[in-house]
Amino acid sequence: MPHGPVLSGTLDLINEDTEGCWDKLIKDEANKEVSLKHNLEIDDLDELCLAEIKILDKTFDEFGKMGRFEISKYTHDYCAEWQDPNGSSFPIKPEEIFRAVGKNESEIRKLVRKHTEQQQLNQLKTALGNDFNTNRSR
């Protein structure tokens, strides 16, 4: 997107999740800013493992005090995988991310293949879950 990369799933939650988990936890603020509706305790994050919580803590320590335009400038300056879409948006390809973090072309091919397999497994899991739930409700 023009101001920097945004995870599609997160953007969907911001724009569309009016009665789901996002809406229960996140409060819209002025100027497209957001905040938590209430303080979270470690027990509220039971779907995350300790390593994921540490990553979130480290990320917040580094970026949590930045305003949206500071973060935007940071992504423009330091995220090699981001390219200006000239007012539009387009997905960042996994190989661009792998290249930006210093992987060689052989590693990139392997990682892209693994990424594609994981996406296919996730789609299959979703489809099987939907079929299972449909059959259970009959």
**Whether residue 45 is found in the same domain as residue 59:** yes
Residue 102: the pLDDT is: 95
Q: How far is CA 61 from CA 8, 20, 27, 57, 65, in A?
A: 24, 28, 21, 6, 8
> Residue 84 gets which letter from DSSP?
-
Residue 105: the pLDDT is: 97
What token pair was written down for 45?
A: 């994050």
Residue 94 to residue 113: CA distance in whole angstroms: 10
Residue 3: the pLDDT is: 80
**Whether residue 85 is found in the same domain as residue 103:** no
**Whether residue 19 is found in the same domain as residue 84:** yes
Give Cβ neighbours of residue 37 (< 8 Å, ≥ 6 apart): 24, 25, 26, 27
Contact 37, 24 (CB under 8 A): yes
Residue 136: the pLDDT is: 57
Residue 83: the pLDDT is: 85
Q: What is the mean pLDDT of each run of 10 residues along the chain (138 residues)?
A: 80 73 81 80 82 93 90 89 84 92 96 96 88 58
**Whether residue 21 is found in the same domain as residue 84:** yes
What's the domain range around 121? 93-138
